[in-house]
Structure 1
Amino acid sequence: MDGVLVCVSASHRTADFSLLERLSAAHGGAATHLTDPGVRGAVVVATCNRYESYLDVAADSDEDVQGAMDRALDRIATDTGVSAAELRPRTRTMKASRVAAHLFAVASGLDSVVLGEDEIAGQVRRSLADARKQGTTTASLERLFQMASATSRGVKNTTRINAAGRSMVRLALDLAETRLPAWSETSVLIIGTGAYARTTLAALRDRGVGVVDVASPSGRERRFAVRDGVRPVSADGRPDALAAADLVITSTNVVALDASDLSAAGRDPAHPLLVVDLGLPANVDKDVAHVTGVDLLDLETISLHAPVQELNASAEAFDLVDQAAKDFEQRSAEDAAAPAIVAYRTHVEQVLEAELARARARGDEDDETERALRHFASVLIHTPTTRAREAAAGGRLDEVVAAMRTLYGIEVGIEGVPPAR
């Protein structure tokens, strides 16, 4: 059976944030549930703006591919508790060449709420690392995701997309700015100690914030504080930190703040507090927005304010992604010829070694002659190898296999190429 790459995608372009939140909440270990005899491997990319499953499907027909996509949707529905009836209209599916073009654009920040945002590249890399730990990658998925990361680096290094684009964190702080004292006078509490928390801290320091308190639902605040130079806040110290804060930013994976927390902190209603929830699933209960003196800014609200016109990516960035997708398809097609090329090379080398063995048996052990014969064999191999790759890239792999069989009696078993009759 052929291997076909497939993507099942729910993103900010197809689904609302409440659905994405429910999907993200249950994504742990999801890749292992997507594999079956018809799905060789899976990588799940789950972020605040998307939930996407990339699959390596064993397929002889379009019906096989469609069946794999249908099963994947059903399993995602089962794993996340979102009904298939609700999920299907809010997803889109891609296969073959469209998958590479889509993932490369995603990894480069060209499919984000904020064009050019840079967190997504790291999230794509971590998704592949997670799949490796779960044992669900394949050679095709590895190549796809590694080239996505390489494309992202190329876009970042050779275009101004990152200068034009801003991360979700920085956009949130831009929106928060008008509701706060001067940044140098703003008291900030970050709840969370992951990669997003570090990004948040860097963005705050760029704006001149001096003292930052950090709390962690998992108790890692001290480790974070030592590494990043902030003040750790223990569970016992959280009420005081909440009472003093002008700005609370959450970036963890659990509900970390609700109205009862603010009540227990004894906040002065006359002291305004802005809460920015960067978590998905949401870290802040909606009841916080009803507390006097408290404003809540969540991901859905932030995305509505993304200045898309200001953040238009350059045509050069999209051109790089398109070319990378074409290169990926060509390399994948060329790689399909590898078994035939290896078989041909082995055949030539076996003939060479047999001839050298006969020469040695006759007492002819001229080193110069052996070097010349080995060089001749390499030259002999080069042109057929090049032509085989070109033929495979042009969709004529069956001709390569037939030529090997007819000219040399070499039988090569390649998926998708029928055997000799």
Structure 2
Amino acid sequence: MTAPGLIIAAPRSGSGKTTITLGLQRAMTRRGLVVRGLKCGPDYIDPAFHAAATGAPSANLDSFAMQDGLLRAIAGDAADGADLVIAEGSMGLFDAVPGPDGHTGASADIAALLGWPIVLVIDVSGQAQSAAAIALGCKLYDPRITIAGVILNKVASERHRRLVAQGMEKIDLLVLGALPREASLILPERHLGLVQAGETADLEARLEALADAVAAVVDLDALLAVAQATILPASPLAAPSLSAPGRRIAIARDAAFSFVYPHVEAGWRAAGAELVPFSPLADEPPPDDCDACWLPGGYPELHAGRIAGATRFLAGLRHFAQSRPVHGECGGYMVLGRALIDAEGVSHAMAGLLSVETSFAKRKMTLGYRRAILEAGGPLGRAGSALTGHEFHYATIVTQGEDPPLAMVTDPHGSAPAPAGSQRGHVTGSFFHAIAMAG
């Protein structure tokens, strides 16, 4: 039987979705349930927290970048063998980009496709019954979805809770719980979101505290009752969302290189590829018995000096690139370039396999979906292949250099095609993270 699922969403960002999702995931796991987490949208960091909270892998569901078959396969893989799937929305429930119906990147698209009800987290600070008007708007805005109940966050007092609950009763919406204002439940953040799960101090203690707080005020039995089961594929991904760059892939994995979509790795493995991790921060070169190397995004800007001094890693990477494909995404792209300027304005020599030079001192947020057409064949596919992806970084390009672009990219808002990334020999890189082959 397919596990029941639900989506924890909110009218806007900053409402407390992640902390409440993690608390629920850990609280249900402590009950002895097999819980799986999923994340709507192109987020690397939250799935790692889901995995820590549940003890099971998490993955992304992205309605803009993924076709229905891939979305159902990822959800089905999570639901297979689980007792409950608790997915986390992104941004506001209906926040989206221009796209075909059902493929706008909104969390509501995922709820509609999978038939999972939504539990709405509402930050009620500064309001009382008016919160019900917001909830009612969410309830009526999209007839494809079902709002099964609400969890109130940042409740100031018992009197405040009663007033908000009166409003919810008026619109016939179940209040599943109410969390008080509590600063200690907030997870630490930095420029790309939460500090990564692997770097968060006392993560287990924090997850237990979240579970304690949520279990004390949320009716977990009522939450289980509103979850809905949907018939989904119960088999692994039938085909990779991206072509595997090799049969044995050396993949950088440490605090500087960690942003890899779980579904991409799962797809590669399903296609028969083996992933072999190595750590540039530990001065490890890519294993020489691999036939491709992948440098994911992450936080190399926070470790630029250490990477520049990792002579075995850099020499091994240069040797590898003489005969085999190497690809870098975002942070990995920066490391493949000539130099990386850190936040203090200090320039650090990088691998020099591409001519790009980047800076974290000159910060500018770049954020959004991308559709890319490859200019030449390489690890991401053949020349002319179309990919969907996402870009999110604060680094800037100081010098693009002489390398030809990897792809021509557009965004969902009608931008003219523009060159992106770099290629030279066996080496390619770009600031956009590939999510799937375009349909």
Q: What TM-score comes out, normalization by structure 2 length?
A: 0.29
Structure with the higher strand share, 1 or 2 = 2
User: Which has the higher Rg, Structure 1 or Structure 2?
Assistant: 1
